């Protein structure tokens, strides 16, 4: 018997599946055979698989249930990490039951206690249908002794379990960073989380295995804290004990400027001293040399006599007065030439002074 092509085809209903509301648009005749509302975050958040829950991404890119992120944000906003014994002190049963009902409705009570929030986070992991570390054998966990072994073991987990473990380890690292307030170091927080990461029926085996899981979690927490410290050191400005090349260059330029300024100051002082001497020598107070008459070879000296032996007299006459004026003009001109020569060349100035 051959099956031919379908004929008389018509569109009866359009059915879609929503992970929170089940099948939408399902015909009535199919409802007894197909469940309309599967377990989902809209009805229950504890004891169900993550595949039927609403998922969101955290700051590290892990895809985890939205309800976990909601509880984490509330725990942090209420300063829960600063409470002593956080995740170790058990909340009151009555308050936890009420909070569970509210969480199933997608709400977190406003007056919820931080210890109740911490206990519900642990309960969420504990009540999973399958523990996030159940895909690993006990031998694999027991043989993981170093950071490299534990890191390699994490890569063997499925994507969903790996994301949940990374989220939980970073949460525990946040708690351990506040050890000075909450008294929960890496070992303590790993100890309270370890029993919630696996599902074992035998209590004795579960207890012994929990010790290995605790060491595994502790190693991952310590590794995470080290990574955070390294990232802080790398992002912070480096403290240099010795100046950099740029600083050395700036210091060299500054020293050179300082040296030049000192030399300039010395030169200015020498110039000022030399000019003062010239001015004193060329002063016209009658005690020093007043001028030189290059044409006649007559020069005034301290004793008031010229080198030619003639005495300078105020009644020398008009001719003598004209010569005296010429002598003064030549002296002023020689004074300017001597000062300019000194400024232009230090060596010439010193030689001229000698």
Helix runs in the chain, H state only: 66-77, 93-104, 114-126, 138-143, 147-154, 159-177, 179-182, 186-193, 203-235, 245-281, 318-344, 346-353
Burial call 281-307: b when 16+ CB within 10 Å, e when fewer: ebeeeeeeebbbbeeeebbbeeeeebe
- Cα separation, 44 vs 77, in Å, equals 24
Interval 315-340: pLDDT, tens: 444 444 444 444 445 445 554 555 55
What's the confidence (pLDDT) of residue 55?
87
**CA 41 → CA 59, 66, 259, 297, distances in Å?**
21, 9, 78, 122
Q: Please, which residues have CB within 8 angstroms of residue 333's CB and are 6 or more apart in sequence?
A: none
Confidence band of 89 (pLDDT split at 50, 70, 90): very high
Interval 226-276: pLDDT, tens: 999 988 877 655 444 344 444 454 555 456 555 555 555 555 554 445 445
Residue 176 has pLDDT above 60, yes or no: yes
Confidence band of 106 (pLDDT split at 50, 70, 90): confident
What's the confidence (pLDDT) of residue 38?
47
What's the confidence (pLDDT) of residue 323?
43
What's the confidence (pLDDT) of residue 280?
52
Long-range contacts of 206-212 (CB under 8 A, 24+ apart): 209/138, 209/141, 212/138, 212/141, 212/142
Q: Mean pLDDT lowest for which of 70-84, 217-231, 278-292? A: 278-292
Confidence band of 68 (pLDDT split at 50, 70, 90): very high
Residue 299 has pLDDT above 50, yes or no: no
Instruction: Evaluate whether 108 touches 74 at the Cβ level (below 8 Å).
Output: yes
Residue 19 has pLDDT above 80, yes or no: no
Distance of CA 165 to the CA centre of its chain: 27
What's the confidence (pLDDT) of residue 119?
95
Q: What residues does 299 pair with on adjacent strands?
A: 292
Over the chain, what is the mean pLDDT? 74
What's the confidence (pLDDT) of residue 303?
42
What's the confidence (pLDDT) of residue 294?
38
Q: Mean pLDDT lowest for which of 8-17, 110-119, 344-353? A: 344-353
Mean pLDDT, rounded, for 176-191: 96
């Amino acid at each position: 018997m051959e099956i031919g092509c379908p004929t008389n085809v018509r569109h009866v209903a359009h059915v879609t599946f929503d992970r929170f509301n089940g099948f939408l648009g399902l015909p009535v005749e199919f409802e007894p055979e197909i469940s309309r509302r599967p377990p989902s975050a809209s009805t229950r958040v504890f004891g169900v698989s993550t595949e039927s829950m609403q998922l969101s991404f955290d700051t590290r890119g892990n895809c985890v249930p939205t309800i976990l992120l909601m509880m984490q944000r509330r725990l942090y906003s209420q300063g829960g990490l600063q409470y002593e014994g956080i995740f170790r002190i058990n909340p009151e049963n009555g308050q936890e039951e009420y909070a569970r009902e509210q969480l199933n409705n997608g709400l977190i009570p406003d007056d919820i206690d931080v210890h109740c929030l911490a206990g519900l986070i642990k309960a969420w992991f504990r009540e999973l249908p399958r523990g996030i570390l159940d895909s690993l054998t006990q031998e694999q966990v027991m043989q993981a002794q170093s950071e490299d072994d534990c890191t390699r073991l994490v890569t063997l987990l499925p994507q969903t379990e790996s994301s949940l473990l990374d989220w939980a380890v970073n949460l525990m690292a946040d708690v351990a960073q506040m050890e000075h307030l909450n008294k929960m170091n890496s070992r303590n927080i790993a100890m309270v989380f370890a029993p919630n990461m696996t599902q074992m029926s035998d209590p004795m085996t579960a207890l012994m295995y929990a010790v290995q899981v605790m060491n595994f979690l502790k190693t991952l927490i310590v590794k995470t804290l080290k990574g955070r410290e390294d990232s802080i050191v790398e992002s912070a400005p480096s403290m240099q004990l010795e100046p950099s090349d740029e600083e050395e260059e700036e210091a060299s330029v500054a020293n050179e400027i300082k040296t030049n300024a000192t030399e300039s100051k010395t030169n200015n002082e020498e110039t000022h001293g030399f000019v003062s001497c010239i001015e004193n020598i060329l002063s016209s107070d009658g005690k020093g040399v007043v001028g030189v008459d290059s044409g006649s070879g007559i020069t005034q000296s301290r004793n008031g006599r010229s080198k030619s032996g003639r005495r300078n007299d105020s009644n020398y006459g008009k001719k003598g007065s004209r010569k005296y004026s010429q002598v003064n003009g030549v002296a002023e001109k020689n004074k300017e030439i001597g000062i300019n020569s000194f400024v232009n060349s230090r060596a010439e100035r010193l030689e001229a002074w000698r």
